[in-house]
Amino acid sequence: MHRIHCGIVPPHLLTRLAALRDPRLSVAARAARHALLELDPVLQVRSEALRAPVRRGSAVVGTLTRRISDAGGREELPGNLVRAEGAPATGDSAADEAYDGLGATYRLFSEEYGRSSIDGAGKPLEATVHYGAGYDNAFWDGERMVFGDGDGEIFGRFTASLTVISHELTHGFTQYSTNLEYEGQSGALNESLSDVFGVLVEQRALGQDAAAASWLVGAGIFTAHVEGKALRSLEAPGTAYDDDVLGKDPQPATMSDYVDTASDNGGVHINSGIPNHAFYLAATTLGGPAWKGAGRIWYDAVLNGGIPSDCDFPTFAKTTQDAAGKRFGVESREADAVADAWSRVGVPV
């Protein structure tokens, strides 16, 4: 069956790198051309074989179970098991970062939201590191996390960023909760949910409130040669990088700059900046730990069953507004903050 590769590096970046003719960046160009081939499954509609049963219940069952495997530079999954749940650190940075990142993601969903693993039923969390030779991406394939080590010229190892790990694993949560179609606005919401819960995992792990957080996705995966902080910014979409090689971050923050495109499944990695920014505005307006305020609202919205697989931005905005009203009251400051956030990005509630 086809596996959907929801990669952290968007196609527009890989395409730009693949076209490079600078001999000083030949490794990066070759790595990008190869990584683009791996994105082909994401350009197809999700196959029925990949669709997971939706589990909206929140009862905690089971315990955290992680298994980290090493592909040893090959593109074969799962690779050799190198660390199982409870085993000591391996000394391999990628394997140990993946192990810790899976744990941090599990704990957010379990301890804050009462969900047992990404599927709500205690699914073991599996990851493979050292996938391919200089592989320029990390992805969720429908069953496991897969991490490349990067080309060394533009990208370093992808496990170096907790938000990369948690972003990709959240694609699994979406698969088992709403299974948003990976195209157009529903695809942008799919990507946005991964960014939102990705940063919440990091903020919780670091003990940061909304004001102290960086709100960056993918900080730490660029090499020192790149003029950029991260792949995306929820605080200021369009400012994460501005580099001679990579170009400028194309994400819009509001609907006035919405990008109408046929590439990247209708701009799923680009237009996700709009719902991302709405979440940031709601979270910072409410203050405190974002995973307890806006994060709780977004989680409730996903789990309440009101989001169709082809959900657009206004439908999702209304669902979050309803979730805020149900949990905190229709005239609460939380409900007001959510409504105001969507209004400020140009999405009607």
Kindly list the catalytic residues: 168, 269
Handedness of CA 173, 175, 178, 184 (dihedral sign): positive
C-alpha–C-alpha distance, residues 153 and 329, integer Å: 51
- Quick one: how far is CA 287 from the chain centroid? 22
Q: Closest by alpha carbon to 248, among 238, 233, 261? A: 238
* Helical (H) or strand (E) element with 127: strand 125-129
C-alpha–C-alpha distance, residues 167 and 158, integer Å: 12
* Token pair of 301 as six digits: 């919205």
The single residue listed with the structure tokens 């533009």 is 154
* Token pair of 332 as six digits: 């609460």
C-alpha–C-alpha distance, residues 314 and 308, integer Å: 12
C-alpha–C-alpha distance, residues 295 and 203, integer Å: 11
Which residues, in sequence order, are CB contacts of 150 under 8 Å at separation 6+?
31, 134, 135, 136, 156, 157, 158, 221, 223
Beta-strand pair 125-129/145-147: parallel
Q: Treating both helix axes as pointing N-terminal to C-terminal, what angle do 313-328 and 184-206 enclose, rounded to 10 degrees?
A: 40
Alpha helices in 44-145 (DSSP H): 93-107, 113
Beta-strand pair 6-7/138-140: antiparallel
Instruction: Yes or no: say if 336 and 295 are a contact pair by the CB < 8 Å rule.
Output: no
